[in-house]
Amino acid sequence: MKNCRLGFAGGVVAAVVALLCAPAAFAGTYDLVIGEITLDASGTMRPALAVNGSVPAPTLRFFEGEKLTINVTNTLEVDSSIHWHGLIVPFTMDGVPGISFDGIGPGTTHTYRFPAQQSGTYWYHSHSGLQEQAGLYGAIIIDPREPEPYRYDREYVVVLSDWHDSPPEKILANLVRQPDYYNQQRRTLVTFFGEVEEKGFRAALADRLAWGEMRMTPTDIADVSGYTFLVNGKSPAQNWTGLFEPGERVRLRFINAAAMTFFDVRIPGLRMTVVQADGNNVQPVVVDEFRIAVAETYDVIVEPEEDRAYTLFAESMARTGFARGTLAPQEGLEAAVPTTRDPPLLTMADMGHGEMDHGQMDHSEMHHGEMDHAQMDHSEMNHDDMTEMEHHEMSHGNDEAGDPFYAPGSGLVPRAADGGRFLSYADLRAREPRYPLRPADREIEIRLTGNMERYFWSINKQIYPKAEPIRLRLGERVRFKFVNETMMTHPMHLHGMWTILDVGAGQWNPAKHTVSIAPATTVYADIEADAPGRWAFHCHLMYHMATGMFREVVVEEDPEIALGD
């Protein structure tokens, strides 16, 4: 095997080396060992799961067209697995126990063989139990055959993740027993007096009663708190640092490998040019901040001109903490760390109610997270009209109407610090079309449902594994209509095939492997069913997936078409 591997730095050199030492039939063999270590991520040594003794797992760097052989040895006492997130592979190599293979048994080695059919920034993680939360995740970089359409001088992989000192099994048990167990931002009598001062007594009381009748709270942004947020395995105090020379163009490959956390990312003093989303080149967009959902990747280029340090600041969407790193011209330099912003509050718009009069609503049939839509009269909500407007009258960037992929009036609409520009899905345009533009052969509605109070999550009110598979015909184009009927944001990931997100750009709609669906919104995406086999389809919030928001998708020549609801 040729020794053509580079670390985090390399930039243009990486592309040159890739072209020089990667003939079309180049084959590489890699050995990964899954095992237990102790890790100091929060100031206390705790047991963790690692690959080759590392959290995150080692960055794997391949060449487009390379024929890969990856031997994975499991030294744990339980089954494990590796899934190649976003990679287009034969379904038997996808790494999902119970769907594409049996898993990797204790003390055994499993060999994955597949070609690297693409280029870009991706990642890998366990798909067994809750092992991903315990540290079993890492980055994948695939260098392209052809030079990339943007210039940079050096690069860094930036893996964002969330670490909890409690074992993931205990976290899930706590959520099932008491869903608000980790909600440390619950409203209290003290905060009520603040609301009275802001809104007046009657309005504050009416708001409290409305949420109380629904057995909900507007602070339910995240299921779990108490996380330490990491950059490349380092806590804010440990301060991961990437070096640069002033005037260089630095490529940052962001990967959200968290189990449950959405991050809002900014680098005060530097604007970021987004050049890639989920491994696919996009037309460059200059922004001050972007939200990265669980499992997404974004590549950005920054140009630090000054001879000083810059803080890389990744704030949790729920404002429960932040991951922090530093870009600096030399080791040991630091920059000011921004103050965490006030936590957002859900609004009735996030529940799909818009500005409806609370007094006219019957909350008695609603459940925390699910709202029992079968009991509601949607005719008064103009939901479809609203979503059509969102999808056909999109503007680039953020205007007074907010992000078109969030319900109008939503408490979760992204807002950049200091009035800057926040990336929206509506900003994304493919650099080159992934597929020829054509109408979908049919539409499937994917309703994201669940019940926070009883802590289960589902698709079309069916919980995996009880639900029938979604069956697709090989070669058809299917339009997924995602309807989020819950108060949580769900990053939906379809294995094995690209999801073409409808941003109203026709053939320039971007191809993604993960699509984030905000509360009370409807989002459309097209699927080219070009990969025969059995595939996983699920919310990438780990505890949502573990409690039922998961389906199997079967792609075959001439199936009996059935959604299974």
- 427-449, pLDDT tens digit by residue? 999 999 999 999 999 999 999 99
User: Whole-angstrom Cα distance, residue 563 to residue 511?
Assistant: 23
This prediction's pTM: 0.85
- Of all residues in the chain, what percent carry a pLDDT higher than 90? 70
Q: Do the beta carbons of residue 495 and residue 535 sit within 8 Å? A: yes
Task: Tell me what pLDDT residue 363 has.
Answer: 30
Residue 291 clears pLDDT 80, i.e. is over it: yes
Beta-ladder partners of 490: 517
Task: Tell me what pLDDT residue 393 has.
Answer: 32
Of 435, 120, 122, 425, nearest in space to 281 by CA = 120
**Residues whose CB is less than 8 angstroms from the CB of residue 506 and which lie 6 or more positions away in sequence, other chains included:** 437
Task: Tell me what pLDDT residue 345 has.
Answer: 82
Task: Tell me what pLDDT residue 195 has.
Answer: 54
**Residues whose CB is less than 8 angstroms from the CB of residue 122 and which lie 6 or more positions away in sequence, other chains included:** 84, 85, 86, 87, 139, 140, 141, 142, 255, 279, 297
- Of all residues in the chain, what percent carry a pLDDT higher than 70? 78
Mean pLDDT of 97-117: 97
Q: Could you please report the per-residue DSSP string of 250-293?
A: EEEEEEE--SS--EEEEBTTB-EEEEEETTEEEEEEEESBEEE-
Q: Do the beta carbons of residue 33 and residue 154 sit within 8 Å? A: no
Residue 416, φ and ψ in degrees, nearest 5: -75, 150
User: Whole-angstrom Cα distance, residue 95 to residue 125?
Assistant: 9
Confidence bin at 403 (pLDDT 50/70/90): confident
Residue 323, φ and ψ in degrees, nearest 5: -95, 145
- 323-376, pLDDT tens digit by residue? 999 999 999 999 999 999 998 888 877 776 653 333 323 332 333 333 333 333
Within a 10 A sphere around the Cβ of 411, how many other Cβ atoms?
18
Task: Tell me what pLDDT residue 182 has.
Answer: 64
Confidence bin at 450 (pLDDT 50/70/90): very high
* Residue with more model confidence, 147 or 378: 147
User: Whole-angstrom Cα distance, residue 386 to residue 139?
Assistant: 38
**Residues whose CB is less than 8 angstroms from the CB of residue 258 and which lie 6 or more positions away in sequence, other chains included:** 160, 161, 162, 229, 294
Task: Tell me what pLDDT residue 377 has.
Answer: 33
Task: Tell me what pLDDT residue 5 has.
Answer: 44
Q: Do the beta carbons of residue 371 and residue 211 sit within 8 Å? A: no
Confidence bin at 209 (pLDDT 50/70/90): low
User: Whole-angstrom Cα distance, residue 113 to residue 116?
Assistant: 10
Residue 532, class by beta-carbon neighbours within 10 Å (0-12 exposed, 13-18 middle, 19+ buried)?
middle
Contacts for 144-149 with beta carbons within 8 Å, 24 or more apart? 144/15, 144/18, 144/64, 144/119, 144/120, 145/18, 145/19, 145/22, 145/63, 145/64, 145/65, 145/119, 147/15, 147/19, 148/15, 148/281, 149/281, 149/431
Q: Do the beta carbons of residue 48 and residue 134 sit within 8 Å? A: yes
User: Whole-angstrom Cα distance, residue 106 to residue 8?
Assistant: 32
Q: Do the beta carbons of residue 145 and residue 4 sit within 8 Å? A: no
Q: What is the mean pLDDT of the chain?
A: 85
The single-letter code of the amino acid at 21 is C
Residue 239 clears pLDDT 60, i.e. is over it: yes
Task: Tell me what pLDDT residue 217 has.
Answer: 65
Confidence bin at 495 (pLDDT 50/70/90): very high
Residue 386 clears pLDDT 50, i.e. is over it: no
- 250-263, pLDDT tens digit by residue? 999 999 999 999 99
Beta-ladder partners of 129: none
